Amino acid sequence: MLYPVYLHAGDEEHAHGVTIPDFPGCFSAADTEENLSRLIQEAVELYFEGEEMEIPPPTPLEQLKQDPAYKGGVWKLVDIDLSKLHPRMM
């Protein structure tokens, strides 16, 4: 399922940072943009591992773009494989 992520582009000295708004407190970073999707998937899997929570649907990108908390970066849609998530059932 496609989820919006907020990307702060890195440079030669800093990694690319990613925030995943639909999963509060879930973030990732990668030295290269090619590794971002894989590392985002890993971060989301760890976020849900053994936790009692439902997997929320993606927030519409149009809604997130209006949030003043997200400045200085760019939005990207990332395909999160929900079948790999193993939350504890409520």
List the domains of the chain with CATH numbers. Answer: 2-84 (3.30.160.250)
- 3-class DSSP state of 55: coil
pLDDT in tens, 35-73: 888 999 999 999 998 778 889 999 999 999 999 989 889
Residues above pLDDT 70, as percent of the chain: 96
Contact at 8 Å (CB) between 78 and 3? yes
* For the chain, percent of residues with pLDDT exceeding 90: 66
Which pLDDT score is estimated for 65?
Answer: 93
d(CA 24, CA 8): 17
Paired sense of beta strands 27-30 and 74-79, if any: unpaired
- Residue 18 neighbours by CB distance under 10 Å: 22
Q: State both tokens at 19.
A: 């925030």
